[in-house]
Amino acid sequence: MVLPTRLLMGPGPSNVSSAVLAATAQPTIGHLDPAFQAMMEEVKDLLRFAFQTENAMTFPISAPASLAMEVALVNLLEPGDTAIIAQNGVFGGRMADIAARAGANVVLLTFDWGTPVAPDVVAGAIKANPKAKLLGFVHAETSTGVCSDAKALCALARGAGLLTVVDTVTGLGGTPVEVDAWGADVVYSGTQKCLSVPPGLAPITFSDRAIGCIEGRTTKVQSWFGDLNLVLGYWSGEGGGRSYHHTAPVNAIYGLLKGLQDLKAEGLEARWQRHRDAHQRLAEGLRRLDLQFLVEEDARLPQLNTVRVPTGVDEAAVRSCLLNEYDIEIGAGLGALAGKVWRIGLMGETARPENVDRLLNALGEVLPDLRQAAVA
Amino acid sequence: MVLPTRLLMGPGPSNVSSAVLAATAQPTIGHLDPAFQAMMEEVKDLLRFAFQTENAMTFPISAPASLAMEVALVNLLEPGDTAIIAQNGVFGGRMADIAARAGANVVLLTFDWGTPVAPDVVAGAIKANPKAKLLGFVHAETSTGVCSDAKALCALARGAGLLTVVDTVTGLGGTPVEVDAWGADVVYSGTQKCLSVPPGLAPITFSDRAIGCIEGRTTKVQSWFGDLNLVLGYWSGEGGGRSYHHTAPVNAIYGLLKGLQDLKAEGLEARWQRHRDAHQRLAEGLRRLDLQFLVEEDARLPQLNTVRVPTGVDEAAVRSCLLNEYDIEIGAGLGALAGKVWRIGLMGETARPENVDRLLNALGEVLPDLRQAAVA
């Protein structure tokens, strides 16, 4: 098994520190071992810190973040409920798909890809759908690099008695995520973005309002694996009261714990500033290369930069060349943006000036050649 | 993060070799990187070897095995379908729960815990339910240590035109699993049992008949994450055609690849024999300690030994003592067997004579004391 060593500047996974990798490789212990249960409590505490919440129900789902999206929606929604879903990229569309599979009536609000969710449009939809149960939206759209105003959107929903489901897969650990200050109800993320932990787990947090909604269901949650009532017997039981649900991914949790400890040690403000600094350095370099951002400056996520492919340039050739000749991975456009943008991730461990410079140097070498080839 | 080093002799996870642990700690690369895609192809090939199948649709689900159970059932079943589910332990009951959540009419066949699924009872149920669509049963019941006759049960189902869903979470890599020879349709397992890979992934295989059934659905699969049509765009696409679904747990796949390479190198027959030998050694030692098996000899899984707790012995105290004083984990009884049995796993790396001897020595030291305490 001979693997290349890549600089991961795509939309995730990001680079993982050697300390986190080493943590995952510690000997496996049992998922019901008291030593592992103590570790779970520490993970839950540190996730509360990362999410900036006091929510008791804060834990990592044993699967990728797209399952966390599903867990959030299938627990809150019952057949016949109305869900208002804002879509300004791939992941809002996925929310709508999942909500419909849960039997909900979906009111889909669409926004141009590359723009944030507009609070006034959401306010109008809430007014027009007085029986709606929840608002779902993406705080940090991985497909476009757009940051929407989660605080304003949650305030609108809460003011009208709606629950909120907030996707911040790309946000957590890279840009402010303040679950309690937002008044958000269910918020989830992934490990492989700004937490710089290997992919496979999905941190999630539920407000007491969300728990109340789930406890008041009249139908069973359609998913056994994702049924919060069952999952929580394992994640929230204390000591010997912890009941078996599924076998937790023990070694992955080791890595998450180490990644969260490192986040705590760095501090949230310092971490966010590091991402902003890396973004600023990248933005200045892209300007010198005459490359344009897709997203207006005030809605840009520092950790996920969507850059327009210049006319005449073969975008896939640029990515291949960066990967094969420079060992740098950047991302392609997704969905409506396929072929039109590159996605340059500056997430977690990747968000450091030396990495930005390495990419800028490589782009500077690769692009003139490819532009010339396009002209010739 | 200071962790104890345990000898894992419970129902899983089992001990993981240092080579597999080291594999998981290699630097993360992108899930769409050509180097990772090549690795995925190797994993799929090796899983076909492990399952003894030619099924094209053979891959690891990015979640624990209980989600694989759900994926199997929610893809094959549509609302109103009839599913015959055999229950002879915890996991058959879980199958029935999941099938009901998928909207199926469940015909539940129950068998005494500790006994195998009886083919004549299944034959009767198939005859009595001519419109049934599938038969679900557990080949290797982790809660009881019983092996059911998968070949006979699959033959009954196939003869009547039913699809089969076979749970062999505890079976794969420890006892014969021969998907094609059985004529099974969907078979799934976990990584943390006899494959001795950290928990978190679930190998699964689908026959062409199962794929045909899924392609012929008239309703959407209720789970987005588990919708095989979507998952396969990622796992079966070739080269550039591989479409994004979710971010694969890259480092966990490194470990699975190494674990499967080691299985291939050892050989299936040799691996199965090693499990039988370890079981034999354990059985002889337990006899000397005057301990009794729950399961009749011909239905015992060598890798999962359910042992009756002697009268007057505090079963939890024995487990605690083994864990805290000997660093040996054994499992408690589950469900109907809680408090009545211990579960002693001899899975994968754990299934070696020196480990069996270490447990027997410890039990010999612990049991007389506890029996004496019970009498006093």
**Domains with residue ranges and CATH for chain B:** 7-12+268-375 (3.90.1150.10), 18-264 (3.40.640.10)
User: Token pair 């240092």 is at which residue?
Assistant: B18
What's the token pair of residue B366?
């612990």
Q: Which of A31, A225, A329 sits opposite B30 (nearest CB)?
A: A329
Residue A237 has pLDDT above 50, yes or no: yes
Distance CA B95, CA B86 (A): 9
> What is the rounded average pLDDT of the residues B243-267?
94
Please give the backbone phi and psi of residue B353, each rounded to the nearest 5 degrees, phi first: -60, -35
Residue A243 has pLDDT above 90, yes or no: no
The whole-angstrom distance between residue B192's C-alpha and the CA centroid of its chain comes to: 8
Q: Which of B12, B28, B101 sits opposite A198 (nearest CB)?
A: B28
What confidence score (pLDDT) does residue B32 get?
Answer: 92
Of chain A, the percentage scoring pLDDT greater than 90 comes to 91
Which amino acid belongs to residue A280?
Answer: Q
3-state DSSP assignment of residue B118: coil
Residue B243 has pLDDT above 60, yes or no: yes
Pairing outcome for strands A134-138 and A82-87: parallel
Phi-psi category of residue B173: left, alpha or beta, with phi > 0 → left and psi -120 to 50 → alpha: left
Query: Cβ separation of A28 and B199 shorter than 8 Å?
Result: yes
What confidence score (pLDDT) does residue A339 get?
Answer: 95
CA distance B18 to chain A (A): 8
Q: If pLDDT is split at 50, 70 and 90, which confidence band does A233 have?
A: confident
What confidence score (pLDDT) does residue B239 get?
Answer: 46
Q: If pLDDT is split at 50, 70 and 90, which confidence band does B240 have?
A: very low
> What is the rounded average pLDDT of the residues A278-300?
97
Query: Cβ separation of A246 and B64 shorter than 8 Å?
Result: yes
User: Token pair 């796992």 is at which residue?
Assistant: B235
CA distance B67 to chain A (A): 6
> What is the rounded average pLDDT of the residues A183-197?
98
Task: Give residue-wise pLDDT tens across range A344-368.
Answer: 999 999 999 999 999 999 999 999 8
Q: Check residues B285 and A376 and name the one with the higher pLDDT.
A: B285
Using a CB-CB distance cutoff of 8 angstroms, which residues of chain A are in contact with residue B12? 247
What confidence score (pLDDT) does residue B375 get?
Answer: 66
Q: If pLDDT is split at 50, 70 and 90, which confidence band does A374 have?
A: low
What confidence score (pLDDT) does residue B232 get?
Answer: 75
Residue B266 has pLDDT above 90, yes or no: yes
Q: Which of B194, B224, B229, B223 is nearest to B211 (CA)?
A: B229
> What is the rounded average pLDDT of the residues A175-198?
98
Query: Cβ separation of A225 and B70 shorter than 8 Å?
Result: yes
> What is the rounded average pLDDT of the residues B253-276?
98
Residue B220 has pLDDT above 50, yes or no: yes
What confidence score (pLDDT) does residue B254 get?
Answer: 98
CA distance B112 to chain A (A): 21
Using a CB-CB distance cutoff of 8 angstroms, which residues of chain B are in contact with residue A10? 30, 32
CA distance B159 to chain A (A): 30
Q: Which of A26, A200, A334 sits opposite B200 (nearest CB)?
A: A200
> What is the rounded average pLDDT of the residues B267-291?
97
Using a CB-CB distance cutoff of 8 angstroms, which residues of chain B are in contact with residue A246? 64-67
CA distance B27 to chain A (A): 7
Residue B242 has pLDDT above 90, yes or no: no
Q: If pLDDT is split at 50, 70 and 90, which confidence band does A229 have?
A: confident
CA dist B39 → A290, A375, B32, B250 (Å): 38, 38, 11, 10
Nearest chain A Cα to B316, which residue? A240
CB-based contact A65:B245 (threshold 8 Å): no
User: Which of A228-237, A262-271, A294-303, B77-86 is predicted with the least confidence, judged by mean pLDDT?
Assistant: A228-237
Interface size, chain A vs chain B, as Cβ–Cβ contacts under 8 Å: 218
Neighbours of A357 (CB within 10 A): 13
Query: Cβ separation of B223 and A70 shorter than 8 Å?
Result: yes
CB-based contact A41:A374 (threshold 8 Å): no
> What is the rounded average pLDDT of the residues B110-138?
98
Distance CA B283, CA B302 (A): 9
CB-based contact B140:B189 (threshold 8 Å): no
Using a CB-CB distance cutoff of 8 angstroms, which residues of chain B are in contact with residue A220? 101
Nearest chain B Cα to A102, which residue? B222
What confidence score (pLDDT) does residue A368 get?
Answer: 83
Phi-psi category of residue A36: left, alpha or beta, with phi > 0 → left and psi -120 to 50 → alpha: alpha
Of chain B, the percentage scoring pLDDT greater than 70 comes to 97
Nearest chain B Cα to A31, which residue? B13
Beta strands in chain A (DSSP E): 7-9, 57-61, 82-87, 105-110, 134-138, 140-141, 146-147, 163-167, 186-188, 202-206, 304-308, 328-332, 341-345
What confidence score (pLDDT) does residue B368 get?
Answer: 83
Task: Give residue-wise pLDDT tens across range B300-348.
Answer: 999 999 999 999 899 999 999 999 999 999 999 998 999 999 999 999 9
What confidence score (pLDDT) does residue A239 get?
Answer: 46
Q: If pLDDT is split at 50, 70 and 90, which confidence band does A369 have?
A: confident
What confidence score (pLDDT) does residue A244 get?
Answer: 76
Nearest chain B Cα to A259, which residue? B1
Pairing outcome for strands B202-206 and B57-61: antiparallel
User: Which of A227-231, A326-330, B193-197, B280-284 is predicted with the least confidence, judged by mean pLDDT?
Assistant: A227-231
CA distance B268 to chain A (A): 22
Residue A206 has pLDDT above 60, yes or no: yes
What confidence score (pLDDT) does residue B264 get?
Answer: 98
Q: Which of B34, B94, B247 sits opposite A192 (nearest CB)?
A: B247
CA distance A141 to chain B (A): 15
Task: Give residue-wise pLDDT tens across range A2-31.
Answer: 899 999 999 999 999 999 999 999 999 999
Q: If pLDDT is split at 50, 70 and 90, which confidence band does A1 have?
A: confident
CB-based contact B249:B201 (threshold 8 Å): yes
Query: Cβ separation of A29 and B6 shorter than 8 Å?
Result: yes
Q: Which of B4, B62, B247 sits opposite A12 (nearest CB)?
A: B247
How high does pLDDT run on average in chain A? 95
Of chain B, the percentage scoring pLDDT greater than 90 comes to 91
Q: Which of B116, B131, B139, B121 is nearest to B162 (CA)?
A: B131
Residue B376 has pLDDT above 80, yes or no: no
CA distance B62 to chain A (A): 6
List the end-to-end C-alpha distance of chain A, in Å, as a whole number: 41
Task: Give residue-wise pLDDT tens across range A66-84.
Answer: 999 999 999 999 999 999 9
Q: Which of A64, A192, A254 sits opposite B1 (nearest CB)?
A: A254
Using a CB-CB distance cutoff of 8 angstroms, which residues of chain A are in contact with residue B31? 13, 199
Of chain A, the percentage scoring pLDDT greater than 70 comes to 97
Q: Which of B22, B70, B198 sits opposite A249 (nearest CB)?
A: B198
Query: Cβ separation of B3 and A26 shorter than 8 Å?
Result: yes
Q: What number of helices (H) and strands (E) belong to chain A?
A: 13, 13
